[in-house]
Structure formats: C-alpha cells, structure tokens
C-alpha cells in the first residue's frame, strides 16, 4: 500500500516547485500520476477525461505550488483532494451538458450520481493509503472470505488484533460516504445545474 511521504519531502517539493524546477514536477508526476489518474477515472469512468483531469491537476500544482499548506496534511492528500475536486467539477459539467441535450433525469439524480462517484473515489484513495496491516486484514475478510479467527492465523496475530485491524479498516472506509467531498453538493439543495 502507498504511504504518505515524509513531511520534509513535502516541504522541499513545494519549495522546488515554487522555484520553478521542472525536475520537481517530473518527480511529483512520477510519484502521484497513477493516484491522480486512478481517482479521476473512478469519478469520471472515462480514460480521456481522466487524462484531462490529470493534466489539469499537475498544471495547477505547477502554477500554484503556494496553495499547498503542509500544516493541513501531506502533499499526497492535497493532490488527491485537488483531483477529487477537479474530477467532480468535470463530471458535473459533463452531466449538465448531457441533461441539457436530452432533458432526461432530474437535478437530484445528477447530484446523487456525483456524490456516489465522489464517495467511490474517496474510498479508492482510502484503500490505496491504508496501512498494509489494515488492508491485509480487510482483504482476507472481504475478498478471501476468511473470518477473524482465520485472518488472525493467516496474519500471525492474535484474534483481538485481527478484530482491531478489521474494525479500524472498516471505520476508515466508512468515512468515504460520511465526509463531504469538495465540489459535491448534497441533493435537493436548490442549486441549479
């Protein structure tokens, strides 16, 4: 599983970007491009649109490195948040165009689709960022259909530790639906498309 980069690396990367070091952008791209594209793909379900979002996100990072605040979290988390926000905006625009062209659907259905896509992208990010012990426990329980006793045995931990890992992993995943996603509005709030 991917891990957040050390805070020192994040600050140095931001400083290098602020100085206009093209090599810094290349390094950042190498490190986070698959994350950005994957999140955008999850929201938009379209490779070309995900490519556009990826270019837009890295363009924003290049042009506005000062908008990242290391006190607010890791550079990885900031890039993921920027990606979700950008992808949701693209989805909203695409769905609004489709609605105008066909007249099918309602604003509530559109917003529901956007919120669902945003929550799925957040869940993907959480899974990719989850520490390996939690991910391994969830994989054993929900992919391989092992109970907590079997998972504990496979992981070489106590049953209590296996239950703790499963509970914590599920708690992290549950935040995908409960946290507000930037750029997504709850349905029925009276905003026009």
pLDDT in tens, the chain (193 residues): 444 456 789 999 999 999 999 999 999 999 999 999 999 998 898 999 999 999 999 999 999 999 998 888 889 889 988 998 999 899 888 888 877 787 777 778 777 888 888 787 777 778 777 788 888 888 888 888 998 899 999 999 999 999 999 999 888 878 776 554 444 444 333 333 3
CA-derived radius of gyration, the chain: 19
Helices (H) and strands (E) in the chain, counts: 8, 0
Residue 114 C-alpha from the chain's centroid: 14
Tell me the per-residue pLDDT of 91-131, one tens digit each, with 9 for 90 and over.
Answer: 888 888 877 787 777 778 777 888 888 787 777 778 777 78
pLDDT, position 40: 92
Rounded to whole angstroms, what are the CA distances from 80 to 42, 46, 74, 156, 159?
A: 12, 18, 10, 33, 34
């Amino acid at each position: 599983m991917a891990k957040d980069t050390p805070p020192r690396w994040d600050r140095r990367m931001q400083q290098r970007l602020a100085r206009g070091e093209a090599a810094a952008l290349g390094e950042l791209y190498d490190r986070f491009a698959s994350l950005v594209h994957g999140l955008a793909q999850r929201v938009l379900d379209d490779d070309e649109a995900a490519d556009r979002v990826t270019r837009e996100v890295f363009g924003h990072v290049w042009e506005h490195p000062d908008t990242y605040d290391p006190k607010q979290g890791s550079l990885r988390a900031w890039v993921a948040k920027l990606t979700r926000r950008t992808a949701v905006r693209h989805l909203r625009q695409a769905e609004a165009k489709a609605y105008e062209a066909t007249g099918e659907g309602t604003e509530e259905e559109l917003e529901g689709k956007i919120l669902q896509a945003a929550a799925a992208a957040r869940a993907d990010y959480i899974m990719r960022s989850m520490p390996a012990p939690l991910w391994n426990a969830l994989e054993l329980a929900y992919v391989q259909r092992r109970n907590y006793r079997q998972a504990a045995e496979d992981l070489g931990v106590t049953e209590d530790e296996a239950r703790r890992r499963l509970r914590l992993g599920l708690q992290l995943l549950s935040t995908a639906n409960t946290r507000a996603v930037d750029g997504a509005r709850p349905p029925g709030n009276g905003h026009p498309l």
